Amino acid sequence: MASLEGIVSLGPWGGLGGDRWIYRASGGITEIVLRVEGNIKSISFKDASGLVSGTFGGRGNDPNDRGEEKKDSAVVGFHGRCASYLDALGIFVTPANSNGSISVGPWGGPGGGPFSFTVGSWIKEIIVHERVNIKSLSFKDGNGQEYGKFGGENPNDPGVERRIEIDGPSEHLTSITGTYGNYNGLLVIRSLSFITNLTTHGPFGNAAGTSFSVPIEGSVVNGFHGRAGYYLDAIGIFVKPETTN
């Protein structure tokens, strides 16, 4: 899917059936109508000007479907796949904070303490300590500023060091994938991969437990957030539109 200027595409999540669809609001989205009966049969939208979208999905014409409504002013559009049902769903979002970033995640467990950072240039280096889980992460940006170490507080379980070099500006970080699960009685990040516009670095750790991924287009990862203590407990990313300086 082609990127849209100033907008980040997240997803879609779901199946491969149905036909592709895209909806962009002319103003803010004020109403979302879902038709639900065991699963989501269809979805439709209304924007701030009162215009109503088409209905995506629901071709089965099931008379037992019913509607529900939700609102989210940060979302400016949706995309996905549909036929008899809503097969897959993704969103278009625009930054809502002062530094132009969008927070995605975190995934993982509730332990450890919070961490959060964004960079002013690009993420140039990632230092991973791993073995059967992710012990810790550290970062360096294009200006030489260091961030972390996040995790790695168990001196008896330091893991093995791996270094990722990202050759900006020709290469930039676009997303992450990984798994989280139990390790030594803690719910932590078990594995991670770092995705750039050129390649995938990883996986690091052991890909056990529950998987997570961020299908995302038109974006640059400009920071990370999460929780960390003995290990990397949880992780999320900050992204900004690729065309935003």
pLDDT of 38: 57
Q: Tell me the average pLDDT of the chain.
A: 80
Higher pLDDT, 81 or 40: 81
- Per-residue burial over 175-208, b if 16 or more Cβ lie within 10 Å, else e, is bbbbbbbebeebbbbbbbbbbbeeeebbbbbbbe
Residue 177: what pLDDT? 94
Please state whether the predicted TM-score (pTM) of the whole model is above 0.75.
no
Confidence check: pLDDT of 229 > 90: yes
Q: Is the pLDDT of residue 131 over 90?
A: yes
CA distances from 157 to 111, 160, 186 (A): 17, 9, 14
Tens-place pLDDT, residues 9-39: 766 767 777 777 777 666 666 666 666 555 6
pLDDT given for residue 75 in this prediction = 64
pLDDT for 3:
43
14-41 per-residue burial string, b: 16 or more CB within 10 A, e: under 16: beeebeebebebeeebbebbbbeeeebb
Lowest mean pLDDT among 43-47, 48-52, 145-149: 48-52
**Domains 8-93 and 102-241 alike in fold:** yes
Q: How far apart are CA 236 and CA 108, in angstroms?
A: 9
pLDDT tens for each residue of 92-125 = 766 655 567 888 888 999 999 999 999 988 999 9
CA terminus-to-terminus distance, the chain: 22
Q: Give 110 or 8, the one with higher predicted confidence.
A: 110
Cα–Cα dist 41/55, whole Å: 10
pLDDT in tens, 155-185: 999 999 999 999 877 899 999 999 999 999 9
Does residue 50 or residue 157 have the better pLDDT? 157
Secondary-structure class of domain 102-241 per CATH: mainly beta
pLDDT for residue 71:
35
Q: Which of 33-42, 57-66, 77-86 has the lowest mean pLDDT?
A: 57-66
Q: Mean pLDDT across the stretch 205-218?
A: 87
Q: Which of 35, 60, 55 shows the shortest CA–CA distance to 44?
A: 55
What pLDDT does residue 36 have? 53
What three-state secondary structure class fits 222?
Answer: strand
Domain boundaries of the chain, sorted by first residue: 8-93, 102-241
Q: Which CATH superfamily is domain 8-93 in?
A: Jacalin-like lectin domain (2.100.10.30)
